Chains A and B, each alone.
Chain A
Amino acid sequence: MQNLRLNINGDSVEVGAPSHWTLCEVLRYRLGLTGTKQGCDKGDCGACTVLIDGRPVLSCIHLAALAEDKEVTTIEGLRPLHQAAGGEGCDPVQDSFDRCGALQCGFCQSGMILSAKALLDEVPVPTEEDARAALSGNLCRCTGYTQIFQAIERAACERAGLEPTKPAWAPESSEHEA
């Protein structure tokens, strides 16, 4: 057992957990932040991705103790942080995933969205290659990634005032957006 002092989504929290527990376990089973998912528990799938000081980290292979004195952002943090910064609704990346159909079962998506968020914070208008690289550690078994790339492109374009590419399935004439 150890006492941990963590900064999660802007809150400073103190929590006791076995010393071998990972950040993923502490978030999910001590703090009730179950938006962080566990798909393999060994660093293979990316479902457990959180941001530590803005960079994506696999929380299932990251000892909770190593996160002390760092800023941890989980999927639950994006909306409140966006609102605290004066925004409305969800973070635009979350919203874009929903509007592009990128969320099927959703199990990969908290990790996916956080990886996408880190990318967009660094590269304002990423190419598809940038997106492929940034998401290469996040496995999705449902979507075939296509609508995820579209969601990232759309979030970037909206911010930059550009027109996103129309998906192949969208009819020429109509407004395709949800």
Chain B
Amino acid sequence: MNIVVAIKHIPSIADDLPVKGNNVDFDSVDFVLNEFDEQSIEQAVLVKEAVGGTVTVVGVDLIGELDNVLHLALAKGADKAVKVTADEPGADSHQQAKWLAEAIKGMSPDIVFAGVQASNDLDGQIGPMIAAYLDMPYIGGVSSVEAAEGTAIVTKEFAGGNAGKYSVSLPIVVGVQAAPKPPRYAPVSKVRQVAQTATIEKISPSADGAGAGLSMKKMAPPVVTGHAEMFTGSSKEVAAKIVELLKSKGLA
């Protein structure tokens, strides 16, 4: 089975996001792998382990640091890594989807996995747009995939804890909400070994603009309103105050 995972490198929100002009100050922020893509890589490797095949991970290199992420994916069980060398930290999801689709096109994939969304824009567009560019169907909000020759059983999550099982025919693009198992750990020794031996295929981005057509007018940290009241005292006193507060709000 030919499995492709499209990933996204995004600014880390472990720290305050510094703003410069009308966007994030990309020079003073760390980039990390989108957490839904971590799930997506795990799901891809699980499918490979179940039915055999190869996993190719492909991402857009926005700041020249994607190699670390690709090495990690290879150490976790991916077989090939490809990067689109864009060097455009502000590229939006529409533009990235186009570049990714162009890179994936020649790979004739059976399944393309993409994280269902990413925490920088939360627009969930990468998967559906890749599907549109490649003229493949899309299913999102997926929490498990069992693939077989030409078909797959896909579990999709709905609100209220409901889930639906779909039988889909391949090829397909799948937006991963969560893998059925927590992402595996890649030991550092293995990642470093991979980093020394792996070759990452480079693809130049096409020049056609495919952005969402939106332009950012202003970006600013949220204005702090209200305040938190800190209760002090022994745990009994604090507990009493919390109960008091809940009662006063009609919650207890």
Note whether A and B form a binding pair.
no
Give chain B's interface residues, CB within 8 Å of chain A: none
